Structure 1
Amino acid sequence: MTVPLYVQIRRGIEAKIRSGALPPGARLPTEMDLSAQYGVSRATAQRVLNDLAEAGLAIRRRRHGTFVADVMRQINLLNFVTPAAAAKGVPGRHEVVSARIVRAADAVLSLPGASADTAVVELVRRKLDVREEPHSVERHVVLFAAAPDLMNENLEELVTLPYLQRRGVPVDSIRLYLDPVVLDEDDALLLHCETGTPALIRRRELRADDGSTVEVVTTLVRPGTAEFFLELPAPAV
C-alpha cells in the first residue's frame, strides 16, 4: 500500500523533531517552502503542518510561522557554562526589565568579594519563547570595571560570557549552582505563575584568574517548562 506523500513528508519532519535535529522552538518550513521542496500543492503542505500541530508537535502562529512545540524543554546544564552553546540560547526574545549602574550593596544579587561601594552593572531581563510566553527571568550583576561599556550594548541580544571574553576579561573558571526557591510576587508576575510556586534557579559565577568574581547571573526558569540534565561520556573501562 502506497503511503500518501503528505504522510511521508509529515513523518520525515516528525523524525527530525523526535531526534532533536529540529529542537523545540525551531522554525519549520512554510507552506510555500514545503510546496517548492516536495512539489506538492499548497493545500497538501498546509495539511502537513496542521497535522503536526494537531499532534502537539508544532505550534502555528498567524503571520509568524510554524515552530516545533516546547511542551517540556530539556536543558543541558553544561550549556550554561559553554560560550558557544550559551550564545545560541533558547529560541525567543528578551525583554529588558531594568538596567542600571549601582553600588554592589544595592544590586539585586550579591557579587562575592565585592565591597559595598564597588560599582556594578545590574541587568534584569525576561525571556519570552517563540509563542511570546514567559520562559525565564535572568538577573546579571557584572563588575563595572570589567564591563564599563556594557550599557551601550544591545541589551536584548547580549550574551554576557562571550561579551566579556571578547573584551579580554580573564575569566579563569566558571562555577554553577542550583538553588531551590519559591516564587515571590515579582517573579510570579513576570512568569505568569502563582506566588509561592516551587522553582529552580541556575546561578553562575565567572571568576578571574586572581579568584575575584567578575559576574553573577541567575536564571529562573518558569516552573513546569523544563527538565535539567547533565550528560557526560562514560569513562573508559
Structure 2
Amino acid sequence: MTVPLYVQIRREIEARIRAGDLPPGARLPTEKDLSAQHGVSRATAQRVLNDLAEAGLAIRRRRHGTFVADVTRQINLLNFVTPATAAKGVPGRHEVISARIVRAADAVLTLPGASADTAVVELIRRKLDVREEPQTLERHVVLFAAAPDLLDENLEELVTLPYLQRRGVALDTIRLYLDPVALGETEAALLNSRIGTPALMRRRELLAGEGKAVEVVTTLVRPGTAEFFLELPVPAG
C-alpha cells in the first residue's frame, strides 16, 4: 500500500522531533517552505502541519508560525470525538499487543447486540508517540462478518473506520462516549502508569441499520500526557 505523500512528510518531521533535532519550542517550516521543499501543494503542506497540531505535537499560532509542542499534548475535545479525526488517525505508531478471532462472549469488550457465540475480531494496540512513549491504549472488537480479512491488514497502520468503509460496510451512526476510569493492572503496565490512576477513555460504537453494532473501540489516554480543552467563539452580545 502506497503511503500518501503528506504522511511521508509528516513522518519526517516526527523523526526529527524524536531525534531531538526539533526540541519543544522549535519553529517548524511554514506551509510555503514545505511546499517548496517537497514540491507539494499549499493544501498538502497545511494538512501536514494541521495533523501535527491535532495530535498535540505542534502548536499553530496565527501570524507567528507553527512550533513543536511540549511533552504534554493539548487536545481539543471537539477534535478528540470528531469522526474525521478517527478516520485519518494521528501521528505516531501502533504497537500490536494482540490480534485474534474469538467468540463475542470472550472478547475484551462487549459488542452491543452480539450474541455470545458471534465471531468477532479482537485487536489490542498501544499507540506510541514520536518519542516512543505510550500515548494511548486501544481495544477494538469488530464483527467478523463485516471484517473477515481484518487480520490480513497492516495492523500497525490500520485505521478501522475507513477500512470498513472501503469494504462497503453500511454504517449508519457513530456513537461516542467519554468515560472517566481508574487504571487497572494491565492498563497501568502498558501505559507506564500507576494502578488506580484516574484516566479518560473514549468509547466509540459504529452502528449499522437498526442500531446493530459493527465495531466498538475504546481509547484510553495515558494520564498526565494530555490536557483536554474546549475552545468556542464568544457569542455576540
Partner of 1:73 in structure 2? 74
2-side partners of 1:191 and 1:12: how far apart? 27
Distance 1:193 1:169, change over 3 A: same
Give CA-to-partner distance per residue, 1:87-142, whole Å, 9 cap, x none. 44332100000000000000000000000000000000000000000001000000
* 1:124 alignment partner AA: I
Alignment partner, residue 194 of structure 1: 194
> After the TM superposition, which residues 1-237 of structure 1 pair with which residues of structure 2 at under 5 Å, given as runs?
13=27, 23=53, 24-25=56-57, 58=68, 68-83=69-84, 85-230=85-230
Specify the SS of the correspondent of 1:94.
strand
CA-based RMSD of the aligned residues comes to 2.8
- Give distance in 1, aligned partners of 2:117 and 2:71: 43
Question: TM-score normalized by structure 2?
Answer: 0.69
Contact 2:205 2:217 in 1 (8 A): yes
TM-score (norm 1): 0.69
How far, CA to CA, are the matches of 2:236 and 2:174 in structure 1? 26
Given that 1:72 and 1:224 are in contact with CA atoms closer than 8 Å, whether structure 2 keeps it comes out as no
Contact 1:203/1:219 (8 A) holds in 2: yes
**In 1: Cα distance, 2:184 partner to 2:224 partner:** 16
Deviation at 1:230, TM superposition (A): 4.8
Q: Is the 8 A contact 1:72 1:225 kept in 2?
A: yes
> Measured at CA, do residues 114 and 230 of structure 1 come closer, stay the same or move farther in structure 2, by a change above 3 Å?
farther
Shift of 1:226: 1.7
1:92, 1:141 → 2: CA distance?
A: 22
Letter matched to residue 71 of structure 2: D
Residue correspondences, number: 185
Displacement, 1:13? 2.5
- In the alignment, the residues of structure 1 paired with residue 75 and residue 146 of structure 2 have an alpha-carbon distance, to the nearest angstrom, of 33
| TM-aligned CA deviation for residue 231 of structure 1 | 5.3
Q: Which amino acid aligns with 2:176?
A: L
User: Does the CA contact (< 8 Å) of 1:140 and 1:218 recur in 2?
Assistant: yes
Q: Give distance in 2, aligned partners of 1:138 and 1:90.
A: 13
Q: CA deviation at 1:189?
A: 0.5
Distance 1:229 1:169 in 2: 33
Q: What is the letter of the counterpart of residue 25 of structure 1?
A: L
- Rg bigger for which structure? 1
Contact 2:88–2:159 (CA<8 Å) still a contact in 1? no
Residue 79 of structure 1 and its aligned partner are, at CA, apart by 4.7
Report the Cα offset of residue 78 of structure 1: 4.2
